[in-house]
Amino acid sequence: MVESIKTVLMRRDGLTEDEAQDCINECLDDLRERIDNGESPFDICEEYFGLEPDYLDELLFQII
């Protein structure tokens, strides 16, 4: 099983749970905006977290 984005940020970057969630929330806001504007969000995980696009599914499930 793939680690969650929050778990990766906490383990890899030493963020607290709240800090990691704040980063995820910021990314989710941008993701919603990109989708609303008809833009492709494919690279958003790389831009925000340095993670491969495989993690995009996790974000998409949080906004639907």
The confidence band for 64, taking pLDDT boundaries of 50, 70 and 90, is confident
Q: Which two tokens stand for residue 37?
A: 């504007």
Residue ranges per domain, the chain? 5-63
Handedness of CA 55, 34, 36, 10 (dihedral sign): positive
17-61 pLDDT per residue, tens: 999 999 999 999 999 999 999 999 999 999 999 999 999 999 999
Tell me what pLDDT residue 2 has. 82
pLDDT at 1: 56
Q: Which pair of tokens denotes residue 53?
A: 């696009």
Residue with tokens 């800090």, as numbered in its chain: 19
pLDDT at 57: 95
Confidence (pTM): 0.93
